Amino acid sequence: MNRACIALVGMLLFAGGCKAPVAPARAPNVVLIVMDTLRADRLDATRNGKAVMPFLSRMAASGTAYRHAISPSSWTKPTMASLFTGLPPQAHGVIYSARQEDPAHPTSDRLSEAHVTLAEQLQARGYRTWGYQTNANLTAALGFAQGFVPGDYHFANGAPARQVTDQALDAAAELSAPFFLYAHYMEPHAPYHVPEGLADALGPQPGMTAYDREVLDDDGRFMAYYMDQVQTALGLQPVPTLPDLSLEGKGAVRHRYDLECLAMDQAIEGLVTGIQAVHPNTVFLFVSDHGEEFWERGGMGHGTTLYQEQVHVPYFWVGPRVPQQEVKTTVSTQLLGQQLLGYLDGKVNWDSPESSATVYSFSRGPWPALGVEVEGVYGDGYSYLVDRRTETTSLFNLERDPAEVQDLAPTAPERVEAFGTLLEEHRALEAGAVDGAPLSEADRERLEALGYVDNP
């Protein structure tokens, strides 16, 4: 089906001889749940003997869980463009949150209409599509509403998890089957908060100095500290310009992150159980767009490296005809859409969504001035990382060294060469022209509050 037909599906119109398709009888509903900034290691984590994400841990154990899923990028915008199109970032060209070649008229990379999205493909199969997302990088103006009828792709900047669930449940009650429902939860993205009613849910919070509390309890001050840590770790400044948090203060940051994971877990439980009660013929896809660093490489955040803490993410399926199993093959979440269509056709390969177990990741950071340009290849139990600014390479055995501490590159030249050859072939996918959208002052402020725009 051509793009012109796809665009008309959701409006139930006829044009140029194209008819709005009808989904096969008993086609399952599809619910895509994106958990922003969720590290893979939090899914089954405990804190003070209490589960951080008890519901989602049970869900992963009840379906097919990919235990070594790698995100195609280490931050939201390129990852979600890849997830929706099945293309690597170099091919779809959505690389930056903000470009300021002309500071008076900043732009943001836009997902081109030349690329067919997952929502469009499901529309072409007769699915009603609906979305509720909370990240300013994914607005309709930036091309992410393709495949959703106007009015059915909602954006609520930074909305709390309970609001996402309530809105999605209201929509599910009205949607006719089969439907595709996309719910994007912003927790546990920075700045991290103590969710209402959950202050002691994971045991007592770490003690903090007066300065720690001043930073953590003020979003503006925390994000200034956060970006100071990022810029220092990237070598953009020799030392931090702001005082460091105490060890207890850093522990409090991790604790608040876990509390937000728990709040999201509870909200998603409400969404899943609510939909299952009314629409049992529903498959749920759970995935994170990227992880989060907490000083493993001397900094914080995401988008800056391709180490495991930033790219290893939860990815699992639950629903009709989904086997209960753990898959330990390395997979890319970029192939979620391809795998979903295979599932709907009864041809999914549950063991590995692709024939090769080698996957790739890429980041240039949210804006050019950060100077980030990193690439990663993952497979055969190894990670191979390249910093194109310095042309330095690293190789790690993930089975023996999951924290990626011991660089094997100097002693394994043949393996480095093999991974390097794979990466050179992948680089042929570098994009050409990139679509851009004007970045309004309101959009710029939203993105800056999340650490995605430079503050000149």
Give residue-wise pLDDT tens across range 295-338: 999 999 999 999 999 999 999 999 999 999 999 889 999 999 99
2 pLDDT band (50/70/90 cuts)?
A: very low
Please give the pLDDT value at position 14: 26
Residue 337's nearest CA partner among 122, 108, 177 is 122
Residues 8-36 have pLDDT tens digits of 444 333 233 445 566 665 899 999 999 99
Given a cut of 70, whether residue 407 has pLDDT beyond it is yes
The amino acid at residue 29 is N
Residues 236-290 have pLDDT tens digits of 999 999 999 999 999 999 999 999 999 999 999 999 999 999 999 999 999 999 9
Rg (CA), the chain: 21
Residues 80-95 have pLDDT tens digits of 999 999 999 999 999 9
Report the predicted TM-score, pTM, of the whole model to 2 decimal places: 0.90
Please give the pLDDT value at position 126: 96
Beta-strand ranges (E) seen in 97-149 are 107-109, 128-133
Q: Look at 82-91, 107-116, 125-134 and tell me which has the smallest mean pLDDT.
A: 107-116
Given a cut of 60, whether residue 456 has pLDDT beyond it is no
d(CA 135, CA 185): 8
Please give the pLDDT value at position 102: 66
Please give the pLDDT value at position 108: 83
Q: Which residue has the higher pLDDT, 450 or 389?
A: 389
What are φ and ψ of residue 9, in 5° steps?
A: -60, -50
List of domains in the chain? 3-449 (3.40.720.10)
Provide DSSP, 351-380.
S-SSSS--EEEEE--SSGGG---EEEEEET
Please give the pLDDT value at position 25: 58
pLDDT above 70 covers a percentage of the chain that reads 87
d(CA 12, CA 17): 13
Please give the pLDDT value at position 349: 82
* Residue whose pair of structure tokens reads 């790698």 in the numeric block: 70
148 pLDDT band (50/70/90 cuts)?
A: very high
427-449 in b/e form (b: 16+ CB < 10 A) is eeeebeebbbeebeeebbebbbb
